[in-house]
Amino acid sequence: MIVVMSVNDEGNSKRPKRRRRSAATLEPVQERTQAADEVEVEVRDDGLHIGLVVRWPDDVRDEWDVGDAFVEESRRLLHGQLPDEAVARRAARIATAEQAWAMRLGTLFDARDVVAHLNVSKQRVSTLTKEQRLLALPVGGRLRYPAWQFAGLTAEGRVTLVAAHREMVDVGGIDPWSAADWATHPHPDLGGADPVSWLREGGAGDQVIGAARRDAGRAAQ
C-alpha cells in the first residue's frame, strides 16, 4: 500500500500553505479517529492518503523559499519567462559551485581572520596576497583564504603552496578551486602524503612544486 503524506506549513503566517509530499510503502493500518485539523485521511484508488498538519521548524531552511527565490529572479531576468530545465540545472550548478567547494575545502578565512591569526595589518595581508605568499580564492567577488594553510605551516610552507597552486592554474589550466583541493589530497610523489601535511612534517618544498609541475603538465596535454 502506498501512503502519501502531505505536510502543510502553518508555522509562518507570511507564507501560503503548501503541500510537501513524500511517498513510502507501508503495511495496511487500522482506521483511527483524530481531530480533523491534525490528520486528514482519504482512501483513493492508488492507496491511503494521510495529510498531517505540522509546524515547520523555525531553524530549518525552507527549500520552497529557495525555489521561490530562483523562480522570481529568473522571471525578472527573462521578462516573465522561465528557463528550460537544462538551463535551470546548469544555473544551479554554477550558483552553488563556490559554496560546494568551500564545504569541501573546509573553513575559509576572510582578511580579518588572517589579520588576527598572523597579527599583522590588513594592508600587510593585502601585500602578502599580491606577492603570492598567501593562498587566496575568489568567493563572490572577494578573496577567501583556506584555513589549513595557517595550521602548522611556516611562511615558507605557505609560499610553496602558492607556487604549486600557480603551476596548476597557470600551466595546467586548472581552476583555482580545484588547484587548491589538490593540495589536500594524497600524492604518490610525496609518499602518499598530501602536500599540506608533507610541508607540515618538514618535507622538502621543491618536491611539492615538482609534483605540481608534473601534474600541471599532464593536465595541459
More confident residue, 15 or 193: 193
Over residues 183-198, the mean pLDDT reads: 94
More confident residue, 155 or 79: 155
**Domain range summary for the chain, segments of one domain joined by +:** 2-54, 63-105, 108-220
Q: What pLDDT score was predicted for residue 77? A: 81
| pTM over cut 0.85 | no
Q: What pLDDT score was predicted for residue 11? A: 42
Q: What pLDDT score was predicted for residue 120? A: 93
Least-confidence region, from 22-31, 72-81, 152-161 = 22-31
Q: Cell 485521511 maps to which residue? A: 41
SS (H, E, C) the chain: CEEEEEEEECCCCCCCCCEEEEEEECCCCCCCCCCCCCEEEEEECCEEEEEEEECCCCCCCCHHHHHHHHHHHHHHHCCCCCCCHHHHHHHHHHHHHHHHHHHHHCCEECHHHHHHHHCCCHHHHHHHHHCCCCCCEEECCEEEEEHHHHCCCCHHHHHHHHHHHHHHHHHCCCCHHHHHHHCCCCCHHHCCCCHHHHHHCCCCHHHHHHHHHHHHHHHHC
Each residue's pLDDT tens digit, 57-90 = 555 556 667 777 778 887 888 888 887 887 777 7
Over residues 120-135, the mean pLDDT reads: 95
Q: What pLDDT score was predicted for residue 188? A: 95
Over residues 213-220, the mean pLDDT reads: 94
Over residues 125-130, the mean pLDDT reads: 96
Task: Name the band, by pLDDT with cuts 50, 70 and 90, for residue 24.
Answer: very low
Calpha distance 85→124 (Å, rounded): 47
Q: Which amino acid is at 161?
A: L
Task: Tell me: pLDDT of 135 over 50.
Answer: yes
